[in-house]
Amino acid sequence: MVRKTKEETLETRNQLLDAAEEVFYTKGYAQTTLMDVANHCGMTRGAIYWHFKNKVDLFEAMVDRVRTPLDALAEEPADENEADPLKKMREFSIQFLKDVCHDEQRRRVFTILFHRFETNGEVSELDQRQQTAFCECTDRIERGLKNAVNKGQLPQDLDTKKAALIKHGYFGGLMTNWLFMPDLFDLDSMAESIVDNYIFMLKNSPFLRKATAS
């Protein structure tokens, strides 16, 4: 009986997160109320408060459901025991772009983050959370790049900080544009060339080298 209760509780929580995805996607963060989410899945606001403290907590849980498994995969290139970190980074980056095209849940959540997430500075904890996520992602990329440098796969004088910031902006910008106008270009078919272009830049661009002391 206890096992069944836990399963039912988890199922209810997931139903609420599914509803939140759909409503945030349709109405945006600022215009969505907890009552909107409750009505969408045929539950009460009390059911939401049983699982989540408030709208911020619900929103973060919705994002984490997609972001947490991605973070674990993105961490693999930074593992010092990984023999081929650059290959891992390439594979992850290509699959990440393709999954956004084909996985409806990921597409919805990233569309919410890039195009439906307007707090106007009124929800400081969410703004801080997004800033923290940005810094953690950039740091994760840089550690992967440093691992590739240490394994002799990238130039020793690569400016890994700059390269990490450029990767974040490069991929984030492409995703933002594609999610806004998916018919503008075929992100799925371009995924490999997009990633390989970035890797080519890492290996060959003189503008990604550390400044030498004069």
User: What is d(CA 90, CA 118) in angstroms, rounded to the nearest whole number?
Assistant: 32
pLDDT for residue 1:
40
- Its pTM stands at 0.88
Q: What is the pLDDT of residue 213?
A: 55
The whole-angstrom separation of Cα 54 and Cα 124 is 14
Amino acid present at 56: V
Quick one: tokens of 42?
A: 């045929």
**pLDDT at residue 8, as a whole number:** 85
Per-block mean pLDDT, blocks of 10 residues, the chain (214 long):
70 95 95 95 93 94 94 94 97 96 95 87 79 93 97 98 96 95 96 98 97 65
Contacts for 198 with CB less than 8 Å, ≥ 6 apart: 93, 166, 167, 170
What is residue 4's predicted lDDT score, i.e. its pLDDT? 55
Domains in the chain, start-ordered, CATH in brackets?
1-52 (1.10.10.60), 56-208 (1.10.357.10)
